[in-house]
Amino acid sequence: MRIYLLDGDRESLARTARMLGGYPDVELIGSSYEPEAALSEARGLEPDALFIETRLGCISGLAASERLLRELPDLRVVYVTASREYAVEAFEQRAFDYLLKPLTLERLERTILRLRRSCGSIVHTRQERLDKVE
């Protein structure tokens, strides 16, 4: 499962990356604390999931993920934030999950299990399309 991280707080970004590193089936394909650079990079990398903070400074995490979802409709957006404030809006926008900081291994584990189930069917579908092309 391919994951991209976007968080304006470098410490938080590093902590989430370390936690995700404990899962052998998780490939951290990129991370950034700069929203515009991250959006461009994530677009090209096409991750299965985006872990994103709601407060990024110049753009909100909700606006950033909305832009990516237009181009990557299968993207699963997981908000990792210290604020409960945007939870309802996030789920109205198709959030896959909403995790509160400080992130715990127990809570992350539940999200990873759900992502595994969700990504498995998408990966299979992509493979089927590749098989048809050959």
In this prediction the pTM is: 0.87
* Number of domains, the chain: 1
Structural domain including 52 reads 2-133
Q: What is the pLDDT of residues 47-94, one digit of tens each?
A: 999 999 999 988 999 999 999 999 999 999 999 999 999 999 999 999
DSSP 28-76: EEEEES-HHHHHHHHHHH--SEEEE-SB-SSSBHHHHHHHHHHH-TTPE
Give yes or no for residue 20 having a pLDDT over 80: yes
30-57 pLDDT per residue, tens:
999 999 999 999 999 999 999 999 999 8
Write the pLDDT tens digit of every residue in 103-121. 999 999 999 999 999 998 4
Q: Which amino acid is residue 86, in one-letter code?
A: Y
